[in-house]
Amino acid sequence: MKNPISAGISPLLSVRDLQVHFSTPTGPVRAVAGVSFDLQPGETLGLVGESGCGKTVTALSILRLLPPATSEMTGEIRFRGEDLAACSDSRLRQIRGDRIAMVFQEPMTALNPVLTIGDQVMEALCLHRGLTHAEARREAALALTRVGLPEAETRLKQYPHQLSGGLRQRALIAMALACEPEVLIADEPTTALDVTIQAQILALLASLQAQMGMAVLFITHNLGIVAQSADRVAVMYAGLIVETAPTPALFKQPGHPYTRGLLSSVPKLDFHRPPGGGLPAIKGHVPQEPPPGCLFRDRCPDARAVCEEEPPWLEVGREHLVRCWNFA
């Protein structure tokens, strides 16, 4: 199956066989093992998995933000047909922050502490739109207002430490959306925020996406957020996507044992803990050196001898594909 992670004919963003290795004193370490997916105009794709499975590395690779001295990336990353993995640094700077933008993890640390909020929002406007300082300041105030930051003119003069976590996250979103990108990569945008602020940020992103018509790659380990926000889901394990499906189908009938394990680990209101027991959990840990064949086989309750061979993509429903021998 040549193009398994696709929901249409002409994707806005297309990633093919992305592989990333990092150099270490003991040798190269594989962080991403051949990821492929498509992102259609206006849709939200949720990329989910445990911490350390390669989600953030995948996101940083799309914009080529990994340190070149210690990382090696191969594969294709096409935006409107143009391969970002092969384009020049100057061309990438034209696209990055303008047509593709990113909201980074950890609002407490993602902003530059020595620059005002205004300076940080204005930077992209001056660079990509060629605005004067006065014009960029007006646009920055509008961007802060659009994301619900009160007293925008005052916020422009403030430094990150003067804002709460929720307001910092709104400032990060304002920075990312100032140039009205076609693609937004949101990497754990609600991490470190309390649940009420999380709900506000998710509602804000959904509203802005509807207004601007942008596509969103939503990276998270929170399946509740995925259920609420994503049109499609790609489940990632040990640097590889192991299942992809429309969101309702994935939650109704998960195919891969890893996906089922993730879903069973989510606390439910009607959950009754057995005496001396706790929440269901996936045994073991993500392997630092993945085994041959199915990457999940050492932790899988359904593993068989055939799992020592690499499973192909298998179709288990409409646009629902799984890498698992149990469906062969």
DSSP 80-130: TTEETTTS-HHHHHHHBTTTEEEEPS-HHHHS-TTS-HHHHHHHHHHHHH-
Dihedral-angle region of residue 6 (phi above 0 means left; psi in -120 to 50 means alpha; beta otherwise):
beta
What is residue 1's predicted lDDT score, i.e. its pLDDT?
40
* Interatomic CA distance for residues 255 and 324, integer angstroms: 8
The conformational region for residue 215 under phi > 0 = left, psi -120 to 50 = alpha, else beta, is beta
pLDDT tier for residue 198 given thresholds of 50, 70 and 90: confident
- 100: Cβ contacts below 8 Å, ≥ 6 apart: 13, 62, 63, 79, 181, 182, 183, 184, 185
**What pLDDT was estimated at residue 8?**
47
Can you tell me the distance from the alpha carbon of 33 to that of 17, in angstroms, rounded to the nearest whole number? 8
Element (H, E) at 20: strand 13-22
| pLDDT at 3 exceeding the cut of 50 | no
For 126-151, give the DSSP string.
HHHH---HHHHHHHHHHHHHHTT-SS
Question: Is residue 12 predicted with pLDDT exceeding 90?
Answer: yes
Taking the C-alpha atoms of residue 101 and residue 108, their distance in angstroms, rounded to an integer, is 19
- DSSP state for residue 290 in the 8-state scheme: P
Q: Is the pLDDT of residue 6 over 70?
A: no
- Give the pLDDT mean for 52-81: 95
pLDDT for residue 117 is more than 70: yes
Q: What percent of the chain has pLDDT over 70?
A: 93
Residue 83: pLDDT over 80: yes
Across the chain, mean pLDDT equals 90
Q: At 233, which helix (H) or strand (E)?
A: strand 232-237
Q: How confident is the model at residue 165 (pLDDT cuts 50, 70, 90)?
A: confident
CB within 8 A of 242, min separation 6: which ones?
235, 236, 256, 258, 259, 295, 296, 322, 323, 324
pLDDT in tens, 208-253: 999 999 999 999 988 988 999 999 999 999 999 999 999 999 999 9
